[in-house]
């Protein structure tokens, strides 16, 4: 019997298995909200939790993981290096802080959160990214991280890392949803065997306003969210839906249906943000 999508994995280029659906925690408030939503996700079959230093909820996420009673090795945990940290020693320090806040002895995936500080989008920090990347490679070799990658990086941001170190990221995490095809970034990741993770797969709820998504939801007897998430799965990307409501958390993982090729073509043809990475 075929496994449900929630129980399936992608295999990274280094052989590490990563669950096909992740639970995102961006904009989930630290404390009770983050703790309870992560615990609900884990109790309803999610085994992949995505957080970041900048979300300020690592401590709550870590406590939920501890209280879930699941084995540590059965949960895939991602966190991220703050976007403004662009040095070897800085990356080492920030990783140690994240590990302490999470209450873990290792993380499964660590990402550079962006190629530039969020307050200076588009500025050049190539050398700083290389230094941070070298630190992450060292932590990876020390087995404190099982896989390393980047977030919000274009091919032109990734290439210098590879040229300087010979180490190809295992993952790139970018916004991807119906209407934002990310053709160049997806093609680059596929060519280089980099897993493409789709954050904001529900477009912060705006995807529910798309007529085509609603029409297909009615056609397939599912919710608009399920259409949007299944779309990302059929594009061989890894969605990171988030919710603080248990019903939606459960619903977002029920993706065991198939969108027909002709309907996938219609969804792919929607270009709401064709040029912007964001």
- What's the length of the chain? 278
The pLDDT of residue 276 is 56
| pTM for the whole structure | 0.96
Q: Which of these, 182, 267, 189, 171, lies nearest to 228 by C-alpha position?
A: 267
The DSSP code for 17 is E
DSSP string covering 135-177, please? HHHHHHHTTSBS-EEEES--HHHHHHHHHHHS---SEEEEE-B
Q: Which fold is adopted by the domain 7-203+238-258? A: TIM Barrel (3.20.20)
List the pLDDT tens digit at each of the 278 positions of the chain.
789 999 999 999 999 999 999 999 999 999 999 999 999 999 999 999 999 999 999 999 999 999 999 999 999 999 999 999 999 999 999 999 999 999 999 999 999 999 999 999 999 999 999 999 999 999 999 999 999 999 999 999 999 999 999 999 999 999 999 999 999 999 999 999 999 999 999 998 888 899 999 999 999 999 999 999 999 999 999 999 999 999 999 999 999 999 999 999 999 999 776 555 55
Q: Taking a C-beta distance cutoff of 8 angstroms, is the pair 51, 24 a contact?
A: no
CA distance 231 to 227: 6
Known catalytic residues?
55
């Amino acid at each position: 019997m075929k496994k449900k999508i929630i129980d399936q994995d992608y295999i990274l280029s280094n052989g590490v298995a990563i669950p096909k659906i992740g639970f995102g925690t961006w904009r989930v408030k630290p404390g009770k909200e983050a703790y309870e939503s992560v615990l609900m996700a884990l109790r309803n079959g999610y085994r992949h939790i995505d957080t970041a230093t900048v979300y300020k909820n690592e401590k709550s996420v870590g406590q939920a993981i501890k209280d879930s009673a699941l084995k540590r090795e059965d949960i895939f945990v991602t966190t991220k290096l703050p976007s403004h940290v662009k040095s070897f020693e800085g990356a080492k320090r920030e990783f140690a802080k994240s590990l302490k806040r999470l209450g873990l002895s290792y993380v499964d995936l660590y990402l550079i959160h962006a190629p530039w500080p969020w307050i200076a989008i588009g500025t050049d920090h190539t050398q700083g990214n290389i230094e941070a990347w070298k630190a992450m490679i060292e932590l990876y070799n020390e087995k404190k991280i099982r896989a390393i990658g980047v977030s919000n990086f274009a091919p032109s941001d990734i290439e210098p890392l590879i040229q300087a170190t010979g180490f190809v990221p295992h993952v790139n995490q970018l916004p991807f949803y119906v209407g934002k095809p990310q053709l160049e970034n997806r093609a680059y990741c596929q060519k280089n065997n980099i897993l493409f993770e789709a954050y904001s797969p529900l477009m912060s709820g705006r995807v529910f306003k798309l007529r085509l998504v609603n029409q297909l939801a009615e056609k397939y007897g599912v919710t608009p969210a399920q259409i949007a998430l299944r779309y990302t799965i059929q594009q061989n990307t890894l969605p990171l839906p988030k919710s603080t409501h248990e019903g939606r958390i459960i619903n977002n993982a029920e993706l065991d249906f198939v969108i027909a090729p002709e309907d996938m073509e219609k969804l792919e043809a929607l270009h709401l943000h064709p040029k912007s990475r964001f």
